[in-house]
């Protein structure tokens, strides 16, 4: 990891917010958003959020299988096995 003076401050703040949120991502994001809104209000800024247009359609979670088992394909006999089967009379 690259560490510089500017990044040290960022890492320190991120670590503090993570500890305040008890390592819960939803709480971390909520606290971060709250801090950003407080800073914007202090400096008289108005934050707006963009919307995504175009691109790919979102995939509904229900249509994505949780686990996909790889099915084995039926074994096809090789040439040597075919000859042995023909000699033994298993294949007519």
Rg over alpha carbons for the chain, rounded to the nearest Å, is 30
Give residue 42's pLDDT band: very low, low, confident or very high (50, 70, 90): very high
Say if CB 82 and CB 91 are below 8 A apart: yes
The alpha carbon of 40 is separated from its chain's Cα centroid by a whole number of angstroms, namely: 30
Q: Is the pLDDT of residue 83 over 90?
A: no
Output the pLDDT for position 73: 57
How far is it, in rounded angstroms, from Cα 30 to Cα 24?
A: 10
User: pTM of this prediction?
Assistant: 0.43
| Residue-wise burial string across 33-70, b where 16 or more C-beta atoms lie within 10 A, e elsewhere | eeeeeeeeeeeeeeeeeeeeeeeeeeeeeeeeeeeeee
pLDDT in tens, 21-41: 888 888 888 888 888 899 999
């Amino acid at each position: 990891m690259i560490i510089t003076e500017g990044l040290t401050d960022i890492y320190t703040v991120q670590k503090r917010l993570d500890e305040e949120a008890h390592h819960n991502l939803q709480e971390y994001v909520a606290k971060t958003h709250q801090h950003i809104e407080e800073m914007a209000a202090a400096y008289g800024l108005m934050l707006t959020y963009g919307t995504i247009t175009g691109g790919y359609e979102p995939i509904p979670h229900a249509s994505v299988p949780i686990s996909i088992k790889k099915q084995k394909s039926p074994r096809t006999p090789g040439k040597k096995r075919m000859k042995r089967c023909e000699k033994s009379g298993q294949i007519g």
